[in-house]
Chain A
């Protein structure tokens, strides 16, 4: 039943032009633009490599946080989730299928980044392949947790797209997804220092650029997992299946 639902989740995703363009194409497009604009080096490394790592992080947040929240809020407010609740499909199986579908989508996106980077910008391949695969799963786990929290707290199907972008885009800037850290003021720096994407990018830089292990920075790993767990806790407390009363 899980595979049955996963198949339909993927079919629904790829047939929805908005989702496919916004969630899947957008990070690839941004990578192509940024890599074309910033030739040369960032912090002594090829810009195409640093940006690929950064856009991988942005892609994880965009796909798993923004994309997941948009899907779930839309379905809840349209009564789709309510309708599913009356079927024998267990809620846990449904959510697992939606999360796995997100993982499939982000994996394809990561592969897309590597192909695009390798062919167009001569970007390197991951220094630690296994760690890179682990980073895909870690990123989806963390940001899907936050995506579930966002879906629980955002009650408006019209506003969800704007709201999640208001979270994901500034986070991506502050965390250095779109290029190296500039000198932030102390307040902004303090914000950047608690964002999950900052730490996730440290881990991605490690496995993709340096070839270090996924577990080489325990603090970063702990922060990323803690954010994911906090999101999950919020979702477990507040996520509902029924649309707002009309």
Chain B
């Protein structure tokens, strides 16, 4: 099966600022791929090149077999986008907004079905301006889906959501995935990438510093954390050989007859790996 997205040595500068320094990745069909990174890492630039908004300076990009820089209408028939910031007409209703966008596509989805899918069934006849922030974001998603796209770009789809709304959005994205839709997701929430993405690329300063499944990235990590309290003070040991270190620690405690209060052994989460990667930059270490 051909890849939905192929990116090779993609580069882009804004003036003297190199936003992308030759990144490469593939997104398989039906996959949820997460672009993870701090603000300014190049996530939105990457997505906007693939959506056709920005021209690349160098490298190759292919989206569903099309060059995104060609402005092809056939490509736009098959993608859906959720932008970070975009407003829809405040005076149309939820249903009308879906109808309007559906009319741009050759084979749109059923409007009411999409409105239900994004959880706006009860708001179908409400004007857009009366929706809450989270509901507007769901409307963005619905409008991205109404054209029945094979590939959906979600640029920070849950930024600003409360935890409940975020979980609801995750459910929607999982439902979308189960329909076979390929999803390219950017986020700076690590739990979001861990929850949703089949594979993740961590971007930092315009480069991909790590790429793989969330568990591969975690497995990469050198760090297992051993925490305990001794005489009331918290001790944190970062161990690359936790079996040996734990054995020593507990043998010693047994021999001395001391307690290891609140002993805890923690495998790194994606967050730890991510912070490790981002911290390397701050420490000036490559």
For B52, the closest partner residue in chain A by CB is: A86
A82 contacts B86, C-beta separation under 8 Å: yes
B101 contacts A87, C-beta separation under 8 Å: yes
Q: Which of A11-19, A114-122, A126-134, A144-152 contacts B (4 or more CB under 8 A)?
A: A11-19
Tell me which residues from 94 to 124 in chain B have a Cβ below 8 Å from any Cβ of chain A.
Answer: 96, 100-101, 103-106
Min Cβ gap A89→B in Å is 4
* B103 partner residues in chain A, CB cutoff 8 A: 1, 4-5
Tell me which residues from 1 to 52 in chain A have a Cβ below 8 Å from any Cβ of chain B.
Answer: 1, 4-5, 8, 11-12, 15-16
**A88 interface residue per 8 A CB criterion:** yes
A8 contacts B100, C-beta separation under 8 Å: yes
* B85 partner residues in chain A, CB cutoff 8 A: 79, 243, 246
Number of residues on chain A facing chain B (CB within 8 A): 22
Cα–Cα, bound, A82→B86 (Å): 8
B104 contacts A79, C-beta separation under 8 Å: no
Number of residues on chain B facing chain A (CB within 8 A): 27
Pick the contact of B106: A5, A16, A86, A88 (CB < 8 A): A88
* B53 partner residues in chain A, CB cutoff 8 A: 82, 85-86, 242
For A19, the closest partner residue in chain B by CB is: B91
A79 contacts B83, C-beta separation under 8 Å: yes
For B153, the closest partner residue in chain A by CB is: A86
A88 contacts B88, C-beta separation under 8 Å: no
* Chain A interface main SS type: loop
Q: A60-99 vs B: 1/0 string, CB under 8 Å?
A: 0000000000000000001110110111111000000000
**B79 interface residue per 8 A CB criterion:** yes
Cα–Cα, bound, A4→B100 (Å): 8
A-B pairs with beta carbons under 8 A, tally: 65
For A15, the closest partner residue in chain B by CB is: B91
Residues A86 and B96 in contact in the complex (CB < 8 Å), given A1-B103, A1-B104, A4-B103: no
Cα–Cα, bound, A242→B85 (Å): 11
* A78 partner residues in chain B, CB cutoff 8 A: 86-87
Report the 10 A-B pairs with minimum CB-CB distance, sorted nearest first: A79-B86, A15-B91, A78-B87, A89-B104, A83-B86, A4-B103, A87-B104, A86-B81, A88-B76, A8-B100
Excluding A86-B76, A88-B104, 19 further A-B contacts by CB distance (< 8 Å) are A4-B103, A8-B100, A11-B92, A15-B91, A15-B92, A16-B90, A79-B85, A79-B86, A79-B87, A80-B86, A80-B87, A80-B88, A83-B83, A83-B88, A83-B143, A86-B51, A86-B52, A88-B76, A88-B106
29 contacts between A and B (CB under 8 A): A1-B103, A1-B104, A5-B103, A8-B92, A11-B91, A11-B92, A12-B92, A15-B91, A15-B92, A16-B91, A79-B86, A79-B87, A80-B87, A80-B88, A80-B89, A82-B86, A83-B88, A85-B53, A86-B76, A86-B79, A86-B83, A87-B104, A88-B73, A88-B77, A88-B104, A88-B105, A88-B106, A90-B73, A242-B53
